[in-house]
Amino acid sequence: MTDLADVNYFADEAITQNPYEYFDFLRMQGPVTREPHHGVVAVTGYQEVMAAFKDHATFSAVNAIGGPFPPLPFEPVGDDISELIEAHRHQFPIAEHMVVMDPPHHEKARSLLAKLLTPRRLQENEDYMWQLADHQLDTFLDRGRCEFLADYAKPFATSAIIDLLGVPAEDRGDFLAALGAGAVKHDGDRVGALDGEPVGLDPLRYLDDRFAGYLTERRREPREDVLSGMATAGYPDGSIPPIAEVVKPATFLFAAGQETVTKLLSAAVQTLGDHPEYQQQLRDNPKLIPAFIEEALRMHSPTKVDFRLVRTTTTFGGVELKAGTVVMLCLAAANRDPAKFDDPHEFRLDRKNVREHIAFGRGIHTCAGAPLARVEGQITVRRLLERTRDITIDASVHGEPGRRHYDYVPTFLLRGLTELHIEFTPKDN
Amino acid sequence: MPAERKRLLVDPQLCEGHALCIEIAPEIFTVSDDDVATGIEHPTDDQLEAVQAAIDACPRGAISITDDREDPRP
């Protein structure tokens, strides 16, 4: 058995398959504790992760995605590295995206996206989302079995965002193929891979030209879609952003919404298969589906960790953190902190505080697409349950109940199944 | 004796209309057409638990509650 104290979280494949025992081990050392291989300080306590999210003056998001990779482009000197961060900001991975920006630039960039994906706005698209779910189910339902990620989750997640943004019908095939939901295989699981390779500078740069074209058209002639909302949005100071600055949030919405939603949907369906009692319960009472999705987010947080860089030397959770320390906020650990959630490793439909999970992060950087992810999850579970009976995990692939085997993506960043084979009886319409 | 009560605030700059507060406590919060939530200004004691749940769930940390001492004397 591996000694958990020696684990290299950033390279250990076994830990990617079951990170929770390791997170519990870390939390037992202290909610804020240094790991031995990269000197990264792991935050595993719920309260501490919340506090770090809130304190964006001390914790810069400049390294949010890459964490220790690549190493800092400068040598931290002194107890305040604000100037060094700003001088080298452009050298950090995906520096052009809001996820790694700090105030005040972050507020400006985010304002272009704010309020475009609210539950109220999404309700206007709900009919379409239902049709989309049904259309995707139609492609395999009568087979009585499927590989849920390829047959449903990936194409559904991609189509939902393509439609919502307003990508023209004639371009959709290209997008689906480019994003791996069509025939072409892609490399989305490279982000957070275990070989220490940094995130590409901008994995979706090739989409920028397309989006620049759409946004220019919509600035001229706005329509009823999210791209039009972005194209016509002004900055809070009233100025009109150049198209190039609107392109980045548009492509990022794509990047962030594919893999993560696929992972949420497959975790939810895996839970239905492994806990058949929920199937009838949710069929009888669809009002429970939102809580079911929230609990799936808590238990199987698709983004395991989020990084910050200590800007000014501070004492945090009893640990002195020098300016320049890389901090790893372990969302998946915080969501299973026993001080916050009773029986944290149990899936429970009746948690009163389930909405307090932080699978989407918190504060100024909280996931802007969260309302969309929630709706996609709710509609998927609802339509799947309404159109099938007896969903089971395919034992010929994953093993019998109690001896199941699932493979998860081997990255330190994301948590999700690589495949999910299920069987079911289609219901007569 | 000055009346002691609580004042509920939703920061309109921070709120992005994720609407979890409305799910948790529809009797306390509403969301406007421009997707900013507002709450009852002075929640009653028996509403405070729901208010706290909304504060704890708000993705943006936009909700707060403060003591609001109102002195009725001129």
* pLDDT higher than 60, residue A260: yes
Q: Which residue of B has its CA nearest to A361?
A: B59
Confidence of residue B3 (pLDDT cuts 50, 70, 90): low
Give yes or no for residue A183 having a pLDDT over 50: no
pLDDT at B71: 52
**If pLDDT is split at 50, 70 and 90, which confidence band does A394 have?**
very high
> Which positions in chain A touch B61 (Cβ < 8 Å)?
54, 362-363
CA distance, residue A127 to nearest chain B CA (Å)? 20
CB contact under 8 A, A290 and B23: yes
Tokens matching residue A245? 């600055």
Nearest alpha carbon to residue A203 among A178, A166, A182, A170 = A178
Q: Which residues of B touch A352 (CB under 8 A)?
A: 53
Q: What is the pLDDT of residues A118-148, one digit of tens each?
A: 998 898 888 889 999 999 999 999 999 999 9
The answer to whether A398 and A406 are in contact (CB under 8 A) is yes
Query: Side chain identity at A59, as an amino acid letter?
Result: F
Per DSSP, which regions of A216-273 are E strands?
none
DSSP state of A189: G
Report the DSSP pairing between strands B29-31 and A421-426. Answer: unpaired
Above 90 in pLDDT, residue A205?
no
Higher per-residue pLDDT: A192 or A31:
A31
Domains of chain B: 3-67 (3.30.70.20)
A325's CB contacts (< 8 A; 6+ apart) are: A39, A41, A309, A310
Instruction: With CB atoms and an 8 Å threshold, state whether A115 touches B59.
Output: no
Task: Give A2 or A397, the one with higher predicted confidence.
Answer: A397
pLDDT interval class at A256 (50, 70, 90): confident
Which residues 268-297 on chain A approach chain B with CB closer than 8 angstroms? 290
In this complex, which of B35, B53, B59 lies closest to A120 when CB atoms are compared? B35
Say how far apart CA A412 and CA A260 lie, in whole Å.
14
Please tell me which residue of chain B has the smallest CA distance to A111.
B16
Helices A289-299 and A370-387: crossing angle in degrees, nearest 10, is 120
pLDDT in tens, A109-119: 999 987 888 99
SS3 A59: strand
Cβ contact A371–B19 (<8 Å): yes
Mean pLDDT score across all residues of chain B: 89
**Confidence at residue A185, expressed as pLDDT on a 0 to 100 scale:** 39
Is the pLDDT confidence value at A168 over 90? no
Q: Hey, are the CB atoms on A364 and B19 less than 8 Å from each other?
A: no
A360 touches chain B (CB under 8 A): yes
A29-33 long-range contacts, CB within 8 A, separation 24+: A30/A317, A30/A318, A30/A319, A31/A317, A31/A337, A32/A316, A32/A317, A32/A318, A32/A319, A33/A319
Contact B35 A118 (CB under 8 A): yes
First to last CA, chain A: 51
pLDDT above 50: residue A186 = no
For the segment A153-168, the average pLDDT, to the nearest whole number, is: 89
Mean pLDDT over the full length of chain A: 92
Tokens standing for A351? 């948690």
Residue type, B46: D
Region of residue A8 (left: phi > 0; alpha: psi -120 to 50; beta: else): beta
What are A268-291's pLDDT values in tens digits? 999 999 999 999 999 999 999 999
Tens digit of each residue's pLDDT (9 = 90 or more) over A26-59: 999 999 999 999 999 999 999 999 999 999 999 9
The mean pLDDT of B33-56, rounded to a whole number, is 94
pLDDT tops 60 at residue A181? no
Look up the pTM and report it: 0.94
Give every CB contact of residue B1 below 8 A, 6+ residues apart in sequence.
none
